Amino acid sequence: MNKQLKTMNKIKTSLIISIFALLLFSACSKEQGPQGPSGPSLSGTFVGFVTLYDQYGDVMSNDSGVLVSVVGKNISATTNANGRYILPGLTTGVYDFTFTKVGYGSAKTISQNFVGGDTQFLGTIKTMSQIPNFSVTGLSLLPVTTKNPLNNYIKIAGSVNATDTKDRKVIFFVSNQNNVSYLPANYMYTATATILADSTNFTFDAIDLTLYQAGLPSGSTAYVAAYASAYQNTSSSVFDINTGRTLFNAINTSGSSSSIIMP
């Protein structure tokens, strides 16, 4: 009887060791086993379109002359009158593209996948706007209180250096630092105001609550910088991955600034 028990125990022990070895081998195979071959690198052509806007937000009749370049590659093309560009000789990969034209704000497409092997179209049409030919020359800030504190606001007023027969735009950048500017690292909040046709003046009411929520509490100093902006100010813009904010490129960088203590 004892001999039979010893034999059974040996069989159990052997079975457990075999199962453990099998599991260990399986785990090692998953972690260290050979990988399958990567897909082939294919060559192809990238095609896209650009739409140009003037400083008033109107679509241009001719979209030619935009230089489209592949970042890190000696590959570029220029748009034709319809805004079409063709970039041949690209291989499978992920690319960044820049879009530039004299007198217009630059633009960028980031991390575009390119499969290759054929002609690939960029589904989204890139838009670019003219840089304004006027600039902001004066800026003032005035606190305004109401019966309801939640409706208190700061009146931002200013002027530009020329009249025009069409409406135009001004963009404001607000920060708690005196180096406030249009650069993404230098602002916390943005807003726009309209300059009406045949006028040189503009106003904008910045609600206190909105500024508080943007990180400008009561008693802090709010610094404001204002710049002439293309009416279509979301064109020629680039998302800044370091700050999570937008770099607006279709602006006249000759601006004006002022500051105020938050009420």
Give me the CATH number covering residue 141: 2.60.40
Q: Which of residues 78, 105, 129 is at a domain's end?
A: 129
Q: Is residue 12 part of a domain?
A: no
Q: Kindly give the pairing relationship between strand 107-114 and strand 93-100.
A: antiparallel
Tokens of residue 106, six digits = 């630059």
Tokens of residue 127, six digits = 């838009």
DSSP of 114-140, one letter per residue?
A: E--SSEEE-SSPEEEEBPPS--EEEEE
Tokens of residue 157, six digits = 């007023």
Same domain membership, residue 176 and residue 121 = no
* Domain count for the chain: 2
Same domain membership, residue 206 and residue 152 = yes
Nearest to 71 by CA among 106, 42, 103: 106
- pLDDT tens sequence across 99-124: 999 999 999 998 989 888 888 887 78
Same domain membership, residue 230 and residue 140 = yes
Same domain membership, residue 179 and residue 257 = yes
Q: Which residue range forms the structural domain that includes residue 209?
A: 136-261
Nearest to 52 by CA among 70, 71, 78, 86: 78
- pLDDT tens sequence across 74-103: 999 999 999 999 999 899 999 999 999 999
Q: Is residue 232 part of a domain?
A: yes
Q: Collect all residues with Cβ–Cβ distance below 8 Å to 2 and sequence separation of at least 6.
A: none
Least confident of 54-68, 104-118, 131-145: 104-118
Is the distance from CB of 49 to CB of 84 less than 8 angstroms? yes
Q: Which of residues 68, 98, 129 is at a domain's end?
A: 129
Same domain membership, residue 204 and residue 115 = no
Q: Is residue 177 part of a domain?
A: yes
The band of 40, judged by pLDDT with boundaries at 50, 70 and 90, is low
Neighbours of 113 (CB within 10 A): 9
Mean pLDDT of 156-179: 96
Same domain membership, residue 189 and residue 158 = yes
Tokens 């897909």 -> residue: 39
Q: Which of residues 75, 103, 129 is at a domain's end?
A: 129
How far is residue 260's CA from residue 139's CA, in Å, rounded to a whole number?
12
Q: Is residue 49 part of a domain?
A: yes
Q: Collect all residues with Cβ–Cβ distance below 8 Å to 175 and sequence separation of at least 6.
A: 186, 187, 188, 189, 222, 223
Q: Is residue 240 part of a domain?
A: yes
Tokens 């105020």 -> residue: 260
Q: Is residue 47 part of a domain?
A: yes
Give me the amino acid identity at 166. Answer: K
Q: Is residue 254 part of a domain?
A: yes
